[in-house]
Structure 1
Amino acid sequence: MSSQFGLMRQRRFAPFFLTQFFGAFNDNLFKNALVVLITFDAARYTTLAPGVLVNLAAGIFILPFFLFSATAGQLADKYEKSHLMRLIKLMEIGVMGLGAAAYALDSLWLLLATLFFMGLQSSIFGPVKYAILPQHLAETELVGGNALVESGTFVAILLGTIAGGVMIALSGGAVWVSSAALVVALAGYLASRGIPDAPAADPGLRVSWNPITETWRTIGFTRGNRTVFLSILGISWFWFYGALFLSQFPGYARDALGGDEHAVTLLLAVFSVGIGVGSLLCEKLSGKHVEIGLVPFGAIGLTVFALDLWWASPAAAPGVNLPIGTVLAEPATWRALADLVMIGVFGGFFIVPLYALIQSRSEASHRSRIIAGNNILNALFMVVAALLGAGLLAAGVSIAQLILITAVLNAAVAIYIFTLVPEFLLRFLVWMLVHTVYRLEVEGDDHVPEAGPALVVANHVSFVDALVIMAACRRPIRFVMDHRIFRWPILSFAFRTSGAIPIASAKEDPAMMARAFAQVAEALDAGEVVGLFPEGQITADGELAPFRPGVARILERNPVPVVPMALRGLWGSFFSRKDGKAMTKPLRRGIFNRIALVAGAPVPAGAATPEALQARVAALRGESR
């Protein structure tokens, strides 16, 4: 498959995509129509202030995520998911029918009840939505599939928000909104009928209906895998960040740009486009694998462009409501729009790999409950964001200052998370290497087993060989390397973080050599992948040196499959020893030099002699060095 868009032509993805797209559209169609109605016509229903009603509506919609997400996660693990989706879409038709009755009866409280049931339906749909993807998509398609889902969701939010605001303002707006919501709900149900079966992960699960105890237990599931839990916190932080930004759009459009309601729509549109573009770029930038190195990259962009938005924010004259054409005539507006687009793009880089990581690293038997826990924490963070934003604005903080606070908080939270999980920063450094210094082509990386122990052997051309191989492979690899290279100041962080194993010769330090072989055995016993450069040193002439007997010693203790690999194109690079010491001459062969990694089929331990492996690596390398 050439790109993620090919999924849109396949039954295992397209009906699901349309189902979730129509659902997101409908949520925002109904919500925004109701917000507009109570903002401009609240006096017809109640003496409560419009602002109070708007916040009450937001709270009513999000409340079911706290109450029912845990139960929803259990249901998604217990039952076949495509059937469950169809039932949820039938429920949506009923909810929209209730909404039509509420509009016909002109009952505010029935409208708010409809909003609650919409939140209930969405909270049940969430765990199924993300848990079904790993069942229908290959690992190499997860990033692309999540990118399409995230970009499609934000487009649906944008279109639904615009449609709700426009329809409710028309003559007979309630009829328009009711009719459209019912039609879209029906379209979502019809789309759901095409979703292929997704077998239950844990059909024997006994569902607990106590929302309090089960919510606590569900959050406990998220803590079972530390990296998954911190990824969930990262996603929740993104929704905190996004909720703070989105809630300020009306005030920013009015106070900073001097615009009217059309300016608000413009801000939402450019932000949504940015999220969509960033999400779709993830597949290309990650090489179709779950590339968590994009997460720090996204965090940097979220901070940098938020800081620029604060710095560049103009101050409009009080009470001015300029038409959109006049607003767009101001250069400051275009800078603000560019910042919002880039915040959206880097938001896509941040969020898509995290969702894919949760799906790929969660236990299949309770993946839905982990995603339900994610939804609970997301909702909690959004509520805190709303309270913080309201509190700071009430204390006299300007919207521009609130944007500054958000940018600084984002930097602090990102540093904290990446300190707790150095794997994110390691992957970022590796990703930057192969995307700024080299253009890496990978062939045969699927020969590395998806699970279980294995030994990877490759030719040794430069100081960055291990980083290039780590960038190309899906699984973490613990490399055995010369202790002097292991201690290089620039590269030591990457090597230490990846669990590299320093080694010395028996003549130089026999104790270190013994420790290294013991660590290799422990890693293979634990089912990890260990990498080795059997030549024992970086080539000084570009040729392949004889493989040393260390690989035989390893296989004698742990008879695991051996994956031969060959690096091409690194000889003559800045990090190689061509024409003298490495990294002592100007960059050679230019930025974005094309390199390649070619992997061969695994060799059984019994046939993996040093001579046989050298011949396999030489054949894979070919004439290229």
Structure 2
Amino acid sequence: MSQSSQFSLLAQRRFGPFFWTQFLGAFNDNLFKTALLVMLTFDALSWTTIAPATLNVMIPALFILPYVVFSATAGQLADKFDKARMARAVKLIEIAIMLVAGIGWMSHNLWLLIGAVVGMGMHSTLFGPVKYAYLPQNLKPEELVGGNGLIEMGTFVGILLGQISGALLVAVKPQGIALVAAGTVLVALVGLAASWRIPASPAPEPGLKISGNVFAESIRNLAFSSKNRTVFLSMMGNSWFWFYGAIMLSQFPLYASSYLHGDYGVFVLLLTVFSLGIGLGSLLCERLSGHKVEIGLVPFGSIGLTVFGIDLYFASLGYTNTAAVTVSTLLAQAGVIRILADIVLIGVFGGFYIVPLFALIQTRCEPSHMSRTIAGMNILNALFMIASAGAVMGMFALGFTIPQIFLATAILNALVAVYVFSLVPEFLMRFLAWMLIHTVHRVKTIDVERIPEDGAAVLVCNHVSYVDALVIGAASPRPIRFVMDHRIFKTPFLGWIFRTAKAIPIAPAKEDPWLMEKAYVDIAQALHQGDLVCIFPEGRLTTTGEMNEFRGGISKIIERSKVPVIPMALRGLWGSMLTRDPGALFERSFTRGLRSRLALAVGLPVAPQDATPEHLQAQVLALRGDWK
């Protein structure tokens, strides 16, 4: 696939109509909510006696409420019915809600409008599980990160444009209310038209019985998801991002007016650069991940969220202007570019964080339970967003300023990241591997799609350096259990990475016969569980750059587990710092330079009965060629 392949999805029926259906829904939600909030902020007395501050808290809370109560039911519906039909049903509901809202607008009936807010919350609740369960059903594995990136970009751009449009339309006098009423109905109709082109997406569990007890079903949903530790902690990580983002976004209006001394346009500017950052980060994920689900980007994103959140605090302290400003005069103030850059980069690294998490959940959860898993995540998202409001109120009660709230949130993000990544060290291991092949080396993969997407297999490869496992692991679309010499397994720091990746240490029989036998038992168990196992049949690192003879260990493995064997070859690693090249260390380091090129070539599967050491060595040697 080309680097711009994610954009080509927009022209394909299996993705384009769904993207525009989602985009228009996010746009309409925010057009309506923003118009209502702006109207109640500046013209509240002609509508109600309720204080505007109360309404500004109540309306977003009412929008979130259906997520908490009905997400589990929405997940059941999305697993039971065709997702294209579900999308069209949701769009019909949206039209009905906007017609009710239109009556509320034209009759100045606030309670009809508040009812429509709850209705649009329900609309989004129903569509959420459909949105993320649709993608893995209709996209290829290598398209999943790009598709998720486009959806996230479209969601945040839709939110941004909806908020700007809502604020602009309602401010038009005297036709603003009529423009909002007509505009929301029109957008809903266009969304229905887009949904009609979504191709059929059969239900994974059409016989599912819908539970009438929404609270019990919510608990069952979360309990089921918690059985898959990686998926559940990824759901929690996703919800944490919404906690972080909700705190940031909720403080932008006051930050713009009280600290930057700006008008409404300054608030829109902050919202714009944040949303564009999220969109840019989401789109970059496909390029940085190499068209696969790369969870190594998640720690990278988390680091950025902390670093630039902390820098936003210091940048805010450096802003000394006290005069009222507009967008044009703000940009001339000292220190503003740093503030805007921090907000953009928080958005970019937020994209790096959120997109791989979505893709991981989609690929690792039970397919028949995917919509309900997404629904469970939506419940957690809503609860975390409610918790974020409580956290902000608590910090204000303690006397925190808004920059201090940004600082506290960034530090808390670091603590949460350390905790989560200690529970699921695969994230950190993949991050280190990703950093290795994007800083020290430039890795080209050849036929890596030959590594099976599921099921057990043994991978065999030549053994060139201490980081062979990291390079192979970073290139693989799936986790790999590596079998390695017990001495390398105990290497300081690298050993921690290998233990984290559940590598299997092995020793020669003459050194430690018990450890050798245990390794074969562990290998057989891993293959029985459907894992990928990678071994280096030479048994030791090369000291000349040439391949050593393949030992008989592979035959013992295949005797116990009749699985296919995938030959692979590393090219270009010989002579690097972490090989046993007898040449001068500094001389070869400077000769190779940074970003040295290497490649991983993957061969065709070899049937178990043909997987002799001699045949496999010939296959690996042919794949490696003359480039050591």
Give the TM bin, normalised by the shorter chain: over 0.9
Q: TM-score, normalised by structure 1?
A: 0.98
State yes or no: 1:607 paired with 2:610.
yes
**Number of the residue aligned with 1:563:** 566
**Is the contact made by 1:249 and 1:268 (CA closer than 8 Å) also made in structure 2?**
yes
Structural mapping, 1:216-255, within 5 Å: 216-255=219-258
1:241 is displaced (CA, Å) by 0.2
1:587/1:536 Cα in 2 relative to 1: closer, same or farther (>3 Å)? farther
1:472 maps to amino acid? A
For 1:589 and 1:319, locate their aligned partners in 2 and report how far apart those are by CA, in whole Å.
Answer: 54
For 2:537 and 2:320, locate their aligned partners in 1 and report how far apart those are by CA, in whole Å.
Answer: 71
State yes or no: 1:283 paired with 2:256.
no
- State the percentage of identical aligned residues: 56
Match of 1:91 among 84, 87, 93: 93
**Number of the residue aligned with 2:340:** 337
**Number of the residue aligned with 1:439:** 442
State yes or no: 1:190 paired with 2:193.
yes
1:156 is displaced (CA, Å) by 0.5
State yes or no: 1:299 paired with 2:299.
no
**Number of the residue aligned with 2:164:** 162
1:180 is displaced (CA, Å) by 1.1
1:460 maps to amino acid? H
For 2:542 and 2:478, locate their aligned partners in 1 and report how far apart those are by CA, in whole Å.
Answer: 26
**Number of the residue aligned with 1:528:** 531
**Number of the residue aligned with 2:40:** 38
For 1:587 and 1:317, locate their aligned partners in 2 and report how far apart those are by CA, in whole Å.
Answer: 47
- Report SS of the residue matched to 1:564: strand
- Report SS of the residue matched to 2:43: helix
State yes or no: 1:403 paired with 2:403.
no
1:280 maps to amino acid? L
1:46 is displaced (CA, Å) by 2.1
- Report SS of the residue matched to 2:399: coil
Runs of at least 5 residues in structure 1 that lack an aligned partner in the other structure:
none
For 1:514 and 1:580, locate their aligned partners in 2 and report how far apart those are by CA, in whole Å.
Answer: 36
For 1:620 and 1:207, locate their aligned partners in 2 and report how far apart those are by CA, in whole Å.
Answer: 53
Structural mapping, 1:377-526, within 5 Å: 377-526=380-529
**Number of the residue aligned with 2:65:** 63
1:255 is displaced (CA, Å) by 2.0
Match of 1:47 among 37, 46, 49: 49
- Report SS of the residue matched to 1:396: coil
For 1:203 and 1:414, locate their aligned partners in 2 and report how far apart those are by CA, in whole Å.
Answer: 38
1:319 is displaced (CA, Å) by 8.1
For 2:254 and 2:105, locate their aligned partners in 1 and report how far apart those are by CA, in whole Å.
Answer: 29
Match of 1:15 among 14, 17, 24: 17
- Superposed CA offset, 1:61-95 (max 9, x none): 11111121111000000001101110110111111
For 1:384 and 1:64, locate their aligned partners in 2 and report how far apart those are by CA, in whole Å.
Answer: 16
For 1:70 and 1:455, locate their aligned partners in 2 and report how far apart those are by CA, in whole Å.
Answer: 40
- Report SS of the residue matched to 1:595: strand
- Report SS of the residue matched to 2:351: helix
1:165 is displaced (CA, Å) by 0.2
1:18 is displaced (CA, Å) by 0.3
- Report SS of the residue matched to 1:313: helix
For 1:547 and 1:279, locate their aligned partners in 2 and report how far apart those are by CA, in whole Å.
Answer: 44
For 2:326 and 2:533, locate their aligned partners in 1 and report how far apart those are by CA, in whole Å.
Answer: 63
**Number of the residue aligned with 2:121:** 119
1:365/1:583 Cα in 2 relative to 1: closer, same or farther (>3 Å)? farther
For 1:592 and 1:479, locate their aligned partners in 2 and report how far apart those are by CA, in whole Å.
Answer: 25
- Report SS of the residue matched to 1:194: coil
For 1:240 and 1:139, locate their aligned partners in 2 and report how far apart those are by CA, in whole Å.
Answer: 29
1:583 is displaced (CA, Å) by 8.8
**Is the contact made by 1:547 and 1:610 (CA closer than 8 Å) also made in structure 2?**
yes
**Is the contact made by 2:260 and 2:321 (CA closer than 8 Å) also made in structure 1?**
no
For 1:298 and 1:373, locate their aligned partners in 2 and report how far apart those are by CA, in whole Å.
Answer: 23
Q: TM-score, normalised by structure 2?
A: 0.97
Runs (4+) off by over 6 Å:
315-319, 581-585
**Is the contact made by 2:62 and 2:117 (CA closer than 8 Å) also made in structure 1?**
yes
For 1:41 and 1:198, locate their aligned partners in 2 and report how far apart those are by CA, in whole Å.
Answer: 46
2:565 maps to amino acid? V
For 2:399 and 2:48, locate their aligned partners in 1 and report how far apart those are by CA, in whole Å.
Answer: 29
**Number of the residue aligned with 1:209:** 212
**Is the contact made by 1:158 and 1:268 (CA closer than 8 Å) also made in structure 2?**
yes
**Number of the residue aligned with 1:103:** 105
1:332/1:315 Cα in 2 relative to 1: closer, same or farther (>3 Å)? closer
2:38 maps to amino acid? V
- Report SS of the residue matched to 2:488: helix
- Report SS of the residue matched to 2:484: strand
**Number of the residue aligned with 2:271:** 268
**Number of the residue aligned with 2:30:** 28
Q: For the aligned residues, what is the CA RMSD?
A: 1.5
1:573 maps to amino acid? S
**Number of the residue aligned with 2:312:** 309
Q: How many residues align?
A: 625
**Is the contact made by 1:576 and 1:583 (CA closer than 8 Å) also made in structure 2?**
no
For 1:318 and 1:214, locate their aligned partners in 2 and report how far apart those are by CA, in whole Å.
Answer: 53
1:120 is displaced (CA, Å) by 0.7
- Superposed CA offset, 1:372-398 (max 9, x none): 010011011001111221332244211
**Number of the residue aligned with 1:543:** 546
Runs of at least 5 residues in structure 2 that lack an aligned partner in the other structure:
none
1:420 is displaced (CA, Å) by 0.6
**Number of the residue aligned with 1:135:** 137
1:240 maps to amino acid? F
**Is the contact made by 1:256 and 1:315 (CA closer than 8 Å) also made in structure 2?**
no
**Is the contact made by 1:162 and 1:265 (CA closer than 8 Å) also made in structure 2?**
yes
1:315 is displaced (CA, Å) by 7.5
- Report SS of the residue matched to 1:132: helix
**Is the contact made by 2:601 and 2:624 (CA closer than 8 Å) also made in structure 1?**
yes
1:47 is displaced (CA, Å) by 2.0
**Is the contact made by 1:236 and 1:381 (CA closer than 8 Å) also made in structure 2?**
yes
**Number of the residue aligned with 1:82:** 84
Which is worse superposed, 586-595 or 19-28?
586-595
State yes or no: 1:376 paired with 2:379.
yes
Which is worse superposed, 395-404 or 278-287?
395-404
**Number of the residue aligned with 2:353:** 350
1:35 maps to amino acid? L
For 2:532 and 2:317, locate their aligned partners in 1 and report how far apart those are by CA, in whole Å.
Answer: 54
1:584/1:228 Cα in 2 relative to 1: closer, same or farther (>3 Å)? farther
